[in-house]
Structure 1
Amino acid sequence: MTDATPEPTDGDDLFDDLITTGTVRRKTEHIYFDQAAIEEMASIAAEVDDLPDGPETINQTSRLKDIEKRWNAAQERYEESKVTFTLIPVDRDTTREIWTELPNPPAPPNPAKDRWPIGQNAPDRERIQKQRDLAEATFQERAKEWRKDVDAQESKRVVRFLAASIEKVVAAKGERPGMTEEQLDAIRSAPYGVERINKLWKAFEDVQQSKGEISRPFSLGDSGSATDSL
């Protein structure tokens, strides 16, 4: 029996090639910007569903041709509005830099965690309770503002991460490398913008996760090929 044990390798060189030549995942996300074309296609599809059953007449044939013509025109507009975003992972240094520049603001102190005196008598305890109630009301107001500030920072970080992750953008008119934060803000500010940014963010979260080993999708031994007899 042949010894299949690999030859010893210098530990410093064992993974050097893999480390220096390792690849990153890429993910594409398609977004269609012509919402009117989508709605028109849905309306045309409803027209087809409403067509009467039975033998085809001259009028029905003419109507079908008109429907097909309008569908093709709407479909063409729909496809021309497609933009394909290619995203790649953001490295740890960039992630750290973004969080350093755009941290969450510190939360306001919660009076419930403070040590309050019990009070020596009823008037004393009533005074302390009023102070606690006022402190709690003040905290709730400050917490509302704090949550707004956190949301604002989160929105900025999302755009910053996407700008760092989007490698290229392909549209009907051509291709360009990456996107700026200003362009992403413009997408978010436009109709349906939040939904579109959320789609890009979901793609970003996915591409940040490395995928494990996948199963072999087929076996030559099961294909009935000549290798069965080898």
Structure 2
Amino acid sequence: MLILQLVLSDSLLNVLPSCKIGTIIYKNIVIGDSPKMLKGRLEFFQEKIYTDLQQQSVLDYPGVREWHETFKNAGIDPKRYHPSNEALFRRIEKGKSLPFIHSAADLNNFFSLQYEIPIGIYNYDALSDYIKISMGKEDDSYDGLNGRKNNMKGKICSFDSKGVFGSPIIDSIRTKTDVTTTNAVQIFYLKPSMSETEAKKLLEAASQMFTQLHSGEALIYLVNNYYQEWTIQ
């Protein structure tokens, strides 16, 4: 049993009064190599983005620009610490294709490009007791998927009872998904300007595409106030 809990720090709410976090719990899924359909769509999408970026800036994408500015407002230097969605666009701008990892991670990257927002996906069974999103403190750090120890002081972070495990910048090794993962958690850092109706439609569409590819079931949660809590069996 996992208590899904969201707490946002006062300092974050002061600059993000319209903050919206979407969370999807996936149960009994099957992850494997990405099918040709997903690989083809991701490759085509990257080619289109690369072509478009010959005529425009990464920050011309509304979602990328909004999260870039959101980091500034939260006191995070977006030039030093790119939001993960912006990092994907900048990689493509340089002509570097995104590596294929596995179906869940690849689809997560596709969603991040499509919706222009940071999204993290985690192994549900590697989490303990609860999920909390708050601002990182002095001693909050983790070994990241970038191969480095990441200090998360002053950054937007995801926590469980063992400590910080993710962020809209980079995620941890501890909670990464792989082909043995059967239950997962996806965290959507939605655009603050997005309406609740738009946010719910986005989460529903994403969950349907994810379960079409991975089977299983999806539980959707949208949080847009100070505190909400659910018990997940």
TM range (shorter): under 0.3
Taking structure 2 as the reference length, what is the TM-score of the superposition?
A: 0.24
Looking at secondary structure, tell me which structure has more strand per residue. Answer: 2
Q: Which has the higher contact order (CA 8 A, sep 6+)?
A: 2
Taking structure 1 as the reference length, what is the TM-score of the superposition?
A: 0.25
Looking at secondary structure, tell me which structure has more helix per residue. Answer: 1
